[in-house]
Amino acid sequence: MIKTLKAFFDFCDKTESKKLKTAMILGVFKALFSGMKIGAIAVIVQGFLDKNMTMQNIWMALGIMLVSLAGQFFISLKTTMLQCEAGYRTCANKRIEIAEHLRYVPMGFFNQNSLGNITNVTTNTMEGLADIATRVVMITTQGMLTTAVIILFIFAFDVRIAFIALAGILVYMICYSLMQQFTKGVAPFKHKADENVVAMVIEFVQGIVEVKNYNMIEKSDKRLQDAITNKRLGDTKLEFAVVPIVTIQNVVTKVTSALMCLASLKFYFAGTMTLFNCIMMLIASFMVYESLDMMSSFGALMRNINISITKANEILNIESMDIDGADMTPASYDIELKNVEFAYENKKIIDGVSLKIPQKTTAAIVGPSGGGKSTLCNLMARFWDVDGGEVLLGGKNVKDYSFDSLMKNFSFVFQSVYLFEDTIANNIRFGEPEASMDRVIEAAKQARCHDFIMELPDGYETIIGEGGASLSGGEKQRISIARAIMKDSPIIILDEATANVDPENEAELTAAIEALTREKTIIMIAHRLKTVQHADQIFVINDGRIAQQGTHEQLVAVDGIYKNFIDSRKEAVSWKVAKS
């Protein structure tokens, strides 16, 4: 328990940890105020036993009780506010911290870890900590403190009964330790099931079109149902592991209370305890474990807190790239790779690539699928760090730049475009939230998307679905280009930007790309002949190496991958359905 409490306090930042510690200190005073009830009862009992009950005794007891209740009320109010603030702010800050940390984690992390894991940690795990962790921590510590204070009162009356109470607490804590051991094996399964059900729901929703297209509803639905079933099993197993121990704990407290009563009566009839002390011990026996009974109900959640903290820290402890370079502007926008090597999961993807792309020129990267084209572009923009060699921008290693100052120089238009569930205007000004509406409209006009935006119900204020689900592929691409135009970076990377665009949108998209790339350094990954043939230089990548390099005219003049690529494209274009 102590280890989990320490881990939780370490997980909170200093400000929120200080609030929780203040709440715990106030909890000591709350326990003392709670213990004052015994004093109020003692005044009444003593008055009856002395047969000298007066209004003074009644008012004194009433005053003590009122002070006890008022103290508990105001301290409870303050501690509740402190623990709520600390819990919710800690989890909100951790979400932001995780998001900031993921900005600088190599892209390979996102290939190795499921979206369900990250989503589960930043939503369910953090929500659980915010709602449960602080409450469990405070109830657990408060239960221990209140019980300790009441036992101190018991010591003041009779040491023998106090030791019986302490023996009961010892057995209780042994049961508590057993509960933690029982949940140790079940809690990870429950958390894994929570993570998996989130991943399966995301996959099911995002892939629903393909699922229906290939009539895989039943199979896909079974995977989701299995994930939901496993979550139910995880929740049930945790409850089954906990309930017997909680029941035993409650029995222990009740039996110990009964033993305290019997011992008090025995000592009284044996003449070794006064009637006053006997009555006080009988009353105390019903009060001493009241807080522990509540504590036992939340004890099982301590293991969940520990696992939740571990899950969050696993993401935060992922090694990030060195981002502590200097904030600087490149002397030029030349890009150069010198003997670059890169491997992913022990598989070499880029093998000794060297090339140079002068500023304001166009370089096309072509080659077989899986040859390393996208990886090469990702290395240029430092989405990954190279394993060997170096990548230079303006003559300086990209590692010498701070990550943010490096990113200012790059804009990307990918084959798969992601738009946020927000207004079209905010999606366009995503990189510059303070940009004026005039600039947004100008960028949209250059990207050839102003006309279709104006036809939407709310124009630029139209809310688009998550991922841009309410727009066509070509429309999403043009909004993505408008966003890149707004950023106005000197280097543009186009990764199959026109691969899946229908012919009706291709002319508009081509015009939008021309507006984006004017007077810029262009790096394009493409399979279309008319896209690459006007490039200043073409790099043919195969098996992570540069197989060929030159202009279109130079490369088609020799046998090789590029010439075969061109011939196959020409053959595909000339292919026609024969008339019957």
- Mean pLDDT in residue range 147-167: 86
Q: What's the pLDDT score for residue 577?
A: 45
Q: 74 and 25: one domain?
A: yes
**DSSP code of residue 472:** -
Contact between 567 and 580 under an 8 Å Cβ cutoff? The reply is no
- Mean pLDDT in residue range 312-320: 80
Quote the CA–CA distance of 580 and 12 in Å, as a whole number. Answer: 75
Q: 172 and 286: one domain?
A: yes
Q: What's the pLDDT score for residue 312?
A: 82
Q: Is pLDDT of 537 > 60?
A: yes
Q: What's the pLDDT score for residue 141?
A: 75
Q: Is residue 539 part of a domain?
A: yes
Confidence class for position 326, pLDDT limits 50, 70, 90:
confident
Higher per-residue confidence, 446 vs 234: 446
Quote the CA–CA distance of 6 and 89 in Å, as a whole number. Answer: 18
Q: Is pLDDT of 459 > 70?
A: yes
Q: Is residue 559 part of a domain?
A: yes
Q: 248 and 378: one domain?
A: no
Q: Is residue 215 part of a domain?
A: yes
Q: Is residue 44 part of a domain?
A: yes
Instruction: Give 81-85's long-range contacts (Cβ < 8 A, gap of 24+).
Output: 82/19, 82/20, 82/22, 82/23, 82/26, 83/19, 83/20, 83/23, 83/134, 83/135, 83/137, 83/138, 84/134, 85/16, 85/19
Q: What's the pLDDT score for residue 266?
A: 92
Q: Is residue 439 part of a domain?
A: no
- 235-253 pLDDT, tens digit each: 787 777 777 777 888 888 8
Q: 405 and 256: one domain?
A: no
Q: 211 and 103: one domain?
A: yes
Q: 221 and 298: one domain?
A: yes
Range of the domain at 402: 336-409+492-500+529-575
- Mean pLDDT in residue range 496-505: 58
Higher per-residue confidence, 36 vs 538: 538
Q: Is pLDDT of 509 > 50?
A: yes
Q: 311 and 352: one domain?
A: no
Q: What's the pLDDT score for residue 213?
A: 54
Confidence class for position 570, pLDDT limits 50, 70, 90:
low
Domain boundary among 281, 316, 351: 316
Quote the CA–CA distance of 215 and 217 in Å, as a whole number. Answer: 6
Q: What's the pLDDT score for residue 487?
A: 83
- Mean pLDDT in residue range 358-362: 88
Q: Is residue 250 part of a domain?
A: yes
Higher per-residue confidence, 295 vs 364: 364
How many Cα neighbours within 13 Å face the side chain of 508? 22
Q: Is pLDDT of 445 > 70?
A: yes
Quote the CA–CA distance of 473 and 501 in Å, as a whole number. Answer: 7
Quote the CA–CA distance of 550 and 467 in Å, as a whole number. Answer: 38
- Mean pLDDT in residue range 108-116: 57
Q: Is pLDDT of 111 > 60?
A: no
Q: Is residue 85 part of a domain?
A: yes
CATH number at residue 295: 1.20.1560.10
Q: Is pLDDT of 10 > 80?
A: no
Q: Is pLDDT of 352 > 80?
A: yes
Q: 97 and 208: one domain?
A: yes
Q: Is residue 256 part of a domain?
A: yes
Instruction: Name the domain count of the chain.
Output: 2
Q: Which residues contact 274 (CB under 8 A, 6 or more apart)?
A: 268
Confidence class for position 263, pLDDT limits 50, 70, 90:
very high
Domain boundary among 253, 285, 316: 316
Q: Is pLDDT of 113 > 70?
A: no
Q: Name which of 22-31, 492-501, 544-553 the model is least confident about.
A: 492-501
Q: 244 and 345: one domain?
A: no
Q: 304 and 356: one domain?
A: no
Q: What's the pLDDT score for residue 262?
A: 92
Q: 253 and 368: one domain?
A: no
- The candidate with the shortest Cα–Cα distance to 23, out of 12, 35, 38, is 12
Q: 250 and 383: one domain?
A: no
Q: What's the pLDDT score for residue 580?
A: 42
User: Parallel, antiparallel, or unpaired for β 521-525 and 491-495?
Assistant: parallel
Domain boundary among 316, 344, 376: 316
CATH number at residue 541: 3.40.50.300
Q: What's the pLDDT score for residue 521?
A: 87
